[in-house]
Amino acid sequence: MPVDFNRVPPRVDVPPPPRVSMIVWTVLLVLVMTAGSGLTIMLWPTGSPTNTLWFWFWFCVAGYPFLAWAFLLFAWLGYGHVRRNQGIATNRVSDEAEQACHALASRPLAILGHAWCFAADDSENSLEGVLRGAELAKLRPSAATADTDVNARWLDIPDMHFQPGNELTEHARHHAVCTWLLERLIDRLVPQLRTLPPRTKLQIELHHQSRLKSEAVETRMRELIAERAPALKVGMVSGEHSPSLFRTDALLDNRDVNMAHLLVAIELRDAISAVLSDGVAEAGVAVLVGRPRLVSSASSSGVLLHRPAKATLDAAARTLELAARWGQSSRDRLRTVWAHGLTGDSVSAVRQAASLADETQWNALETSVGDCSGAGAWLAVALAAESVRITGDPQMVLCGEGKELIALMCRKQT
């Protein structure tokens, strides 16, 4: 059953314990006693004795009015305590339901493998190259127009050069780059794919932004999996655009413990048919995730992927708090943050709301790699997973999607 915090009963305001006002209740006592005495005198039957103890000092004149006042006092106190106890009980049930939801939301997926590629040069494509981020700042000659320099990144396949051209030429380049990119990504995941248990179902979610038709890319992906890991039963979900990072939420809600998910996102640009905009980049990323029970039988990276939190940028503090809580960590322990899609004022607002330590390292992919658009969020996850594998420190991934912020945690399996 998916985690749904809307099922949590809302908390209520608990009223304070009832307090007796001496002035109010003393005045009320005088009024009740006076009214009781007056009514007794007025309604006493004519001819009945009026000098008996029964009349003057007990039930009729003093007893009944006092008992009525005492009843009102205790009824008021009882009602106040009942309201208070009902509020406490309601909040207790709400807290227990919320804690149960948080406990369920804290169950992670295991990152069984990850791979990325945004450059043919392995040194530039490595985590160290990303952290340096020096290559992006270099101007390079445009592949589309002579005598024009651009501050952008595109994939140059080794031993294959494409001359500037039109849309047909660009289509040919996209076909060659996409084929090369898919092979490169899958080859890095072959050890993990081959060691998945025999009954494991592999659900591939392939998303790309290129000039190729989805059917062609999907067919090539099926061929690669069939060649490298023929024992797997493969299902395919294909689309042109990369899924949101919040897609992890649905993967975590999937209760099939024998299913692994392979998310592949590819972003290609018109590098030889148009002058690229500043800061854009081409990239491909693949992330293999599954239930932690698969870790013992698959040569995984030992990294856990936790449930994402999502809200508007105005509620960034709460979003980060939930992501850290579900990641079984705290913001005080965070030393590295990977961000994508946060630019300008949104970066400053999120950093201020995060209230992280001064030594926390913020890695904005737009600065170190470039704007990878749809593939950027999953590239940030892959880089965070690699950083966790090397350092063992928990990492937070932040992704801006319009006016919304998505945050999730990656941490080492213990």
Instruction: Classify residue 139 by burial, with Cβ atoms within 10 Å: 0-12, 13-18, 19+.
Output: exposed
Half-sphere exposure of 23 (CA within 13 A, CB side): 0
**How would residue 136 be classed by pLDDT, with cut points 50, 70 and 90?**
low
Query: Would you list the domain boundaries of the chain?
Result: 5-105, 109-412
CA–CA gap between residue 288 and residue 110 (Å, rounded): 8
Express as a percent the part of the chain with pLDDT over 70.
90
Instruction: Please choose, from the candidates 179, 237, 189, the residue with its C-alpha nearest in 3D space to the C-alpha of residue 210.
Output: 179
pLDDT higher than 70, residue 308: yes
If one compares 63 and 179, the residue with the highest pLDDT of the two is 179
Total count of residues recorded for the chain: 414
**How would residue 376 be classed by pLDDT, with cut points 50, 70 and 90?**
very high
Buried b (16+ CB within 10 A) or exposed e, 270-281: bbbbeebeebbb
DSSP string, 163-200: -S--HHHHHHHHHHHHHHHHHHHHHHHHHHHHTS-TT-
**Tokens linked to 314:** 């105005």
DSSP state of 273: T
The predicted pLDDT at position 240 comes to 55
CA 211 to chain CA mean position, Å? 32
Which CATH fold topology does 109-412 show?
A: Peroxisomal Thiolase; Chain A, domain 1 (3.40.47)
Per-residue pLDDT of 44-82, as tens digits, reads 666 556 566 555 545 666 677 787 888 888 998 899 999
**Tokens linked to 54:** 């029964």
For residue 409, give the 3-state DSSP assignment. strand
CA–CA distances in Å: residue 298 to residues 186, 213, 412: 16, 33, 16
Contact 20, 122 (CB under 8 A): no
The whole-model pTM stands at 0.83
